[in-house]
């Protein structure tokens, strides 16, 4: 049962192939900013409007434009016991400055 194992040899063409694959892999990595706007519109359908605003505002120019877009409508749920008075005031300012599609009290 003597099995002969092939030795792995790295010649120049193998190294070039590895570099090529590594470069392709590096280019395939994306960041959240590279996702299409439609993705965020779909994602935001599942989240509360104020949570979206708190999470994505002031991140960068693209997200600021997205949040201020008239195409984006926020769904808002207000639970009075959930928010402290200071937080409620911020929430009211948010409501007055944004496009709101649904408000549940």
CA distances from 27 to 2, 52, 88 (A): 44, 29, 44
Neighbours of 3 (CB within 10 A): 4
Residues 6+ apart with CB under 8 A from 105: 78
Q: Using one digit for the tens of pLDDT, what is the confidence trace for 37-48?
A: 889 989 988 888
> Does residue 98 lie within any of the structural domains?
yes
Structural domain of 49:
36-104
* pTM confidence score: 0.51
> Does residue 87 lie within any of the structural domains?
yes
> Does residue 64 lie within any of the structural domains?
yes
pLDDT of res. 33: 80
Q: Using one digit for the tens of pLDDT, what is the confidence trace for 68-83?
A: 887 777 776 666 555 5
Q: What is the tally of structural domains in the chain?
A: 1
Query: Would you give the DSSP letter of residue 6?
Result: P
Statement: residue 7 has pLDDT above 80: no
Residue 3 CB-half CA count within 13 A: 3
């Amino acid at each position: 049962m003597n099995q002969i194992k092939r030795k792995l040899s790295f010649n120049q063409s193998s190294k070039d192939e590895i570099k090529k694959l590594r470069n392709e892999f590096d280019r395939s990595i994306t960041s959240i900013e590279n996702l299409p706007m439609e993705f965020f519109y779909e994602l935001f359908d599942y989240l509360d409007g104020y949570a979206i605003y708190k999470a994505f505002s002031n991140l960068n120019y693209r997200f600021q434009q997205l949040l201020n877009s008239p195409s984006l409508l926020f769904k808002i749920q207000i639970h009075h016991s959930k928010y402290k008075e200071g937080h409620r005031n911020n929430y009211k300012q948010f409501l007055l400055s944004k496009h709101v599609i649904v408000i549940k009290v």
